[in-house]
Structure 1
Amino acid sequence: MFKQTAGEKLIDMLIEWGVDHIYGMPGDSINSLIEPLRKAQDKIKFIQVRHEEAGALAAAAYAKLTGKLGVCMAIAGPGAIHLLNGLYDAKLDHAPVLAITGQVESDLIGTDSFQEVNLERMFDDVAVYNQRIMSAEQLPAVVNQAIRTAYAKKGVSVLTIPDDIPRFEVGKEARVTAQFTAKQVVLPMKDDLLNANKILEEAAKPVILAGRGAHGHRDTLLSFAEKIGAPVVLTLPGKGVIPDKHPYCIGGLGLIGTKPSYEAMLEADTLIMIGTSFPFTAFLPEHAKTIHLDIDPAQIGKRYPVDVGLAGDAGATLSWLTDHLATKEDRSFLEKSQDRMKHWLAKLDHQEEDGSVPLKPQRVIHALQEVAADDAVLSVDVGNVTVWMARHFHITHQSFVISSWLATLGCGLPGALAGQIAHPDKQVFAVCGDGGFAMTMADFVTAVKYELPIVVIVLNNHKIAMIKFEQEVMGNIEFGTNLQNPDFARYAEACGGDGYRVERPEQLLPAIQQAVQNRKACIIDVLVDPEEAPMPAKIQFSQAAGYTKHMIKELFEEGKIDLPPL
C-alpha cells in the first residue's frame, strides 16, 4: 500500500483546504517541501518572491482581499525572520495567514546549528497558533488545527517543520481530524439591543462610524443609516464599505479625513461605532451617547467609553435594530452634513484641477479615478500617498487594501501581486510613494516573471514626505528625509516591464490609459511636488504653531532673517 511522506501530505492538505498558491523562496531547510509542491503545480502554484517580507505581505493582502487563507513559506533562520513584518501586518489587520517555515533537522535542534533560530519563541507574539511539527504522524492533525485557528481567530498560524520530518512516511497511527471551519452568526444580548434602541430613538444628531467589520454589509448599513437619519463616517480600513460619494457618506476621520466628518463629530449627540476600534479618540465626540457594535467583545470600549456594547455580527445586528426602530422624521442634521460634504468635494475638485509643475499629487489620483474600472483592485502604500488616496479617490465598488494598523512602508507592491493573483481579470493598481516602493521594488520582477499586469503608480517627490511634515509640525527642520531615487520607469524596462516617466500634466492620463491597455507589468513614475503638505481637514493651533516655528527656524539657519540688534 502506498504511503505518503509528511511533505506530500502537507501539500495535499493545503489543496483540500482550498489553497491554490503559496508565496516563498526555496532553500535548504524546506527543499523537502518544495519537491512535493513542484509535483502538485497543476493544483497549487508556488509564487517565487525575491524577498520573504514581500511574500508575507502578499499573503496578508490576499487574505484581506478575499477572506481566504494566505500562505507563505520560508527557510529557517534568515528566511523566517524576513516573514515577520508581513505576519505582523496580518495580525494587526486580522487577516487569516499560514506561515510555513523550515528548521534544522530534529536531532540538531538545540545545538546552535547553522541557521538555527528559536522560531517558536520568535513567532510567539505574532501568532494565534504556533507549533513545531514533532513527527510525521502528528503533522495532519496540527495542520488542520493551524488552519482552523487562523480562520476562527482571523490571525496568523505558524508551522515550524524540521528538515527531516517531511521525508518520513505518515503511518496509519496518524490522527484524522476535520478539514473545515464552522461559521456562526452572533446576535448581541436582547437587553443590550433594547438599550441601544432606546438611545437611538432619543438621538437628535446621530453619527455612524463604520470600520472594517462593516464590510460586506453595505445595503444593511445604508438601510440603518436611512432609518435613523445619520451620516456615515468611514475609518481608513472601512473605506469602501459604502460608496464615497453616496449621499450618506461624509468621508474619513482624523488627519486623513474630511472637514464635514470632523464637524459632525463635534456636534453629534449619539455615536454608533460599527466594526471599528478607532484609535484616534481625540476626533470622537466628547459628550455623545455611544453604542459600540463589534463581533469581538474585547474590542468594545477598549479605547473610548461607551454606553451600550453590542457583541455580535454587524449585518444581523443592524438588521435587528433597523426592524425595531421608527423612521426618524427630522433630517436636519443629516442634511447639514450633506451640504458641508458638497462644499468639501468642490474644494477637492479645485485641488485636482491644479495644472502646476511639479504635478500635485491630487491631480494624479484624479487621473487614476478616470481610468480605474468600477471593480479595480487598489493596493495603497503608506505615507502621504495614503492621505491622497483616502481623500481624493472616491470608491464605488473597487477593492481597497492597505496596511492599516501596522502601517508598514512597502506594502503597496506585494498587495498588488496578491490582488492580481486573486483577480486575474481585473485591473490592479499599486499606488505608492517613492519611499515605500523602494522598500519592496525587487519584487516588481515577480510581476514580470508571472505575467501579472499590475500598474504601479509611484508618487516620486524624492522625499519621505510624511516624515518631513511631521518634523516641521514639531517645529523642527527636516532631516534624513531626502531620497536619491533611480528613474523608476527605466527600472521597469530593465526588469522586462513597461515604464512611463511623467513630468507634466498632459502626460499623466495618457500614461495610465496606455498602461492599462497594454496588460503588462508597468511602473508609472510621476514627479510630484515635494512641498505639497497633506494638511489635516481641521488644523489644530499646536500644528500651526509648530509649522510656523519650523519656518522661522529654517529662515534663521539659512541666514534669510537678520537678528535684531541688541
Structure 2
Amino acid sequence: MFKQNAGEKLIDLLIEWGVDHIYGMPGDSINSIIEPLRKKQDKIKFIQVRHEEAGALAAAAYAKLTGKLGVCTAIAGPGAIHLLNGLYDAKLDKAPVLAITGQVETDLLGTDSFQEVNLERMFDDVAVYNQRIMSADQLPAVVNQAIRTAYAKKGVSVLTIPDDIPRFEVGKEARVTSHFSVKQNIAPLPEDLQRAKELIEGAERPIILAGKGVHGHRETLLSFAEKVGAPIVLTLPGKGVVPDKHPYCLGGLGLIGTKPSYEAMQEADMLMMIGTSFPFTGFLPDSAKTIHIDIDPSQIGKRYPVDVGLAGDAGTSLKWLTEHIARKENRTFLEKNQERTSKWWDNLESQEEDGSVPLKPQRLIHALKEVASDDAILSVDVGNVTVWMARHFPITNQSFIISSWLATLGCGLPGAIASQIAYPDRQVFAICGDGGFAMTMADFVTAVKYDLPIIVVILNNHKIAMIKFEQEVMGNIEFGTNLQNPDFAKYAEACGGVGYRVERPEDILPSLQKAIQQKKPCIIDVVVDADEAPMPAKIQFSQAAGYTKHMLKQLFEEGKFDLPPL
C-alpha cells in the first residue's frame, strides 16, 4: 500500500481545496515541502517571487480579486518575517490567505538555533488561525482546519512546519476531516428590517454609502436606490459596485472623493451605510438618521452612531427592503445631486485636457481610460496615484484592486502579477507611483519569467508626492521626499520586458497602445508634474491655513521674503 509523507499529503490537500498556485521562494527549511510541490507542477504551480513580501501581497490580491484562497510560502526566520506586510494587507481587507512557513527541526526548537524565530508569537496578531504542526499525523486535520477558518473568517491562516515533519510518513491513524467550506446566507432580524423600513419611508433626503460588502449586488443596489430615490456614494474599496457614471452615483467620499458626494452627505437627513465600516467619519452627516447594514454585527455602530443595525448579507437585506418599502415619488434631492455630479465630471474632463509639460497626472488617466477594456483589471498602488485613479478613472465593469485599510506602498505590481495569473485572458494594468513601484520593482522579472503581459504604468515625479503634500498642508517645508530614480523604461528592457519613456502629452496614448499590442510585460515610465497637488474635493480651513503657513516658511528659507525691521 502506497504511503505518503506529510509533505506530499500537504500538497495533495491544497490541490483538493482547489489551490492551483503558490507564491514563494524555496529555501532550506521548506525544501521538504518544495520537493513534493515540484512533482505536482501539472496540478499546482510554484510561482517563484524575488521577495517574500511580494509573494504575500500577490496572494492577498488574488484572494481579493477571486474570493479564492491565496497561498504563499517562506522559509523560517527572515523569509517568514518578510511575509508580514502582505499578510496584514490580507487581514485588514478581509481576504482569505494561507501562509505556510518553515521552521527549524523539532529537536532544535528552543535552542536559539540558526534562523529560529518564535513564529507563533510573531504571527499571532495577523492570523485568524495560527498553528505549528507537531507531527505528520496531525498535519491533515490542521491543514483542513486552517483553510476552512481562512474562508469562514475571511482572514489569514498560518501554518508553521518544522523542517523534519514533512519527511515523516502519515500513519493510517491520522484523523480524516473534510476539505471543503460551507457558506451561509445571513439575514437580519425581521423587527430590525421593519424599523429600517419605517426610517427609510420617513426620509426626505436619503443617501447610500456603499462599500466593499456590496460587490456582486449591483442590480439589487440599483433597484433599491431607484425605489427610494437615493443617490449612491462609494467608499474606495466599494469603487466599481456601480458604474462611476451611473445616474445614481455621486462618486467617492473623503479626501479622494468628489465634491457632490461631500455636499450631498452634509444635506442628507438619512444615511444608509451598506457593507462598509467607513473610518473617515468627518465626511458623514452631522445629524442624519442612520441605518447600517453589515454581515459582521461587530462592525455596526463601531465608528459612527446608528439608529438601526441590520446584521446580514447586503443583497438579502436590500431585496427585502426593496420589496416592502413604498416607492418615493419626490426626486428633488436626487436630481439636485445629479446636476452637481454632471458639472463635477465636466470639471474633471477639463483638467484631463491640460497639455502642459511636465505632464499632468490627470492627462495620463484620461489616456488610460481610452485603452482599458471593459473587463480590465486595475491594480492600483498607494499614494497620489490612488487619488488620480479614484477620481479620474470611471469604472464600468473593470476590477479595481488596492490595499485599502493597510494602504501599503508596493502593492500595485504584485497585485497585477496575481491578477494576470488569475485571469490570463484579461487586460491587466499596474498603476503605480515611482515610490510605490520601487518598493517591489524586483518582481517585474517575475512577470517576465512567467510571461505575464502586464502593463505597469508609473507616474514618475521623483517624489513621495503625497507625503510632500501632507507636509505642506501641515505648514511644514517639504523634507525627505525627493527620490533618485532610474530610467524605468530601460529597467524594463534590462529585465527582458518592454519599456517606454513618456515626457510629452502626445506620446501617452501611442505608448499605451503599443504596450497593449506587445503581449509582453511592459513598463511605461511617465514623467509627471511633482507640484500637481491631490487637493481634496472640499478644502478645510485648517488645510488652507497650513498650506499658507508652508508657503511663508518656504519664502523665508529661500530669502525671498524679508522680515520687517524691528
How far, CA to CA, are the matches of 2:363 and 2:45 in structure 1?
Answer: 39
Question: SS of 1:272's equivalent?
Answer: strand
The answer to whether structure 1 residue 525 and structure 2 residue 525 are counterparts is yes
1:271-291 CA-to-partner distances (Å, cap 9, x unmatched) read: 000000000000000000000
**Aligned counterpart, 2:185:** 185
How far, CA to CA, are the matches of 1:335 and 1:328 in structure 2?
Answer: 13
**Aligned counterpart, 1:411:** 411
1:292-441 superposed matches below 5 A: 292-441=292-441
How far, CA to CA, are the matches of 1:104 and 1:30 in structure 2?
Answer: 10
Question: Where do 5+ consecutive residues of structure 1 fail to align?
Answer: none
The answer to whether structure 1 residue 102 and structure 2 residue 98 are counterparts is no
**Aligned counterpart, 2:81:** 81
**Aligned counterpart, 1:197:** 197
Q: CA deviation at 1:115?
A: 0.2
Q: CA deviation at 1:63?
A: 0.1
How far, CA to CA, are the matches of 1:276 and 1:557 in structure 2?
Answer: 45
Q: TM-score, normalised by structure 2?
A: 1.00
The answer to whether structure 1 residue 535 and structure 2 residue 535 are counterparts is yes
Q: CA deviation at 1:565?
A: 1.7
Q: TM-score, normalised by structure 1?
A: 1.00
1:144-223 superposed matches below 5 A: 144-223=144-223
**Aligned counterpart, 1:7:** 7
Question: Where do 5+ consecutive residues of structure 2 fail to align?
Answer: none
**Aligned counterpart, 2:131:** 131
Q: CA deviation at 1:9?
A: 0.3
1:27-78 CA-to-partner distances (Å, cap 9, x unmatched) read: 0000000000000000000000000000000000000000000000000000
Identity of aligned residues (%): 83
How far, CA to CA, are the matches of 1:236 and 1:165 in structure 2?
Answer: 44
How far, CA to CA, are the matches of 1:161 and 1:376 in structure 2?
Answer: 38
Q: CA deviation at 1:563?
A: 1.2
**Aligned counterpart, 2:269:** 269
How far, CA to CA, are the matches of 1:65 and 1:104 in structure 2?
Answer: 34
How far, CA to CA, are the matches of 2:557 and 2:87 in structure 1?
Answer: 44
How far, CA to CA, are the matches of 1:419 and 1:245 in structure 2?
Answer: 25
1:335-363 CA-to-partner distances (Å, cap 9, x unmatched) read: 00100000000000000000000000001
**Aligned counterpart, 1:515:** 515
**Aligned counterpart, 2:228:** 228
Q: CA deviation at 1:564?
A: 1.2
Q: CA deviation at 1:292?
A: 0.1
Code of the aligned partner of 2:377: V
How far, CA to CA, are the matches of 2:299 and 2:116 in structure 1?
Answer: 37
Question: SS of 1:397's equivalent?
Answer: coil
Q: What is the aligned length?
A: 566
1:404-442 CA-to-partner distances (Å, cap 9, x unmatched) read: 000000000000000000000010000000000000000
Question: SS of 2:237's equivalent?
Answer: coil
Code of the aligned partner of 1:52: E
1:464-518 CA-to-partner distances (Å, cap 9, x unmatched) read: 0000000000000000000000000000000000000000001100000110111
**Aligned counterpart, 2:551:** 551
Question: SS of 1:369's equivalent?
Answer: helix
**Aligned counterpart, 2:72:** 72
**Aligned counterpart, 1:461:** 461
**Aligned counterpart, 1:442:** 442
Displaced runs of 4+ in structure 1, greater than 2 A? Answer: none
How far, CA to CA, are the matches of 1:455 and 1:251 in structure 2?
Answer: 26
How far, CA to CA, are the matches of 2:5 and 2:516 in structure 1?
Answer: 45
The answer to whether structure 1 residue 500 and structure 2 residue 495 are counterparts is no
User: CA RMSD, aligned part only?
Assistant: 0.3
How far, CA to CA, are the matches of 1:546 and 1:29 in structure 2?
Answer: 52
Q: CA deviation at 1:399?
A: 0.4
How far, CA to CA, are the matches of 1:366 and 1:35 in structure 2?
Answer: 48
How far, CA to CA, are the matches of 2:185 and 2:218 in structure 1?
Answer: 17
Code of the aligned partner of 1:86: G
Code of the aligned partner of 2:335: E
Q: CA deviation at 1:562?
A: 1.3
How far, CA to CA, are the matches of 1:422 and 1:317 in structure 2?
Answer: 31
Code of the aligned partner of 1:342: S
Code of the aligned partner of 2:368: L
Question: SS of 2:544's equivalent?
Answer: helix
How far, CA to CA, are the matches of 2:513 and 2:336 in structure 1?
Answer: 38
How far, CA to CA, are the matches of 2:240 and 2:517 in structure 1?
Answer: 25
Question: SS of 1:30's equivalent?
Answer: helix
1:294-344 CA-to-partner distances (Å, cap 9, x unmatched) read: 000000000000000000001011000000011100000000010000000
1:435-455 CA-to-partner distances (Å, cap 9, x unmatched) read: 000000000000000000000
How far, CA to CA, are the matches of 1:178 and 1:34 in structure 2?
Answer: 24
How far, CA to CA, are the matches of 2:27 and 2:178 in structure 1?
Answer: 31
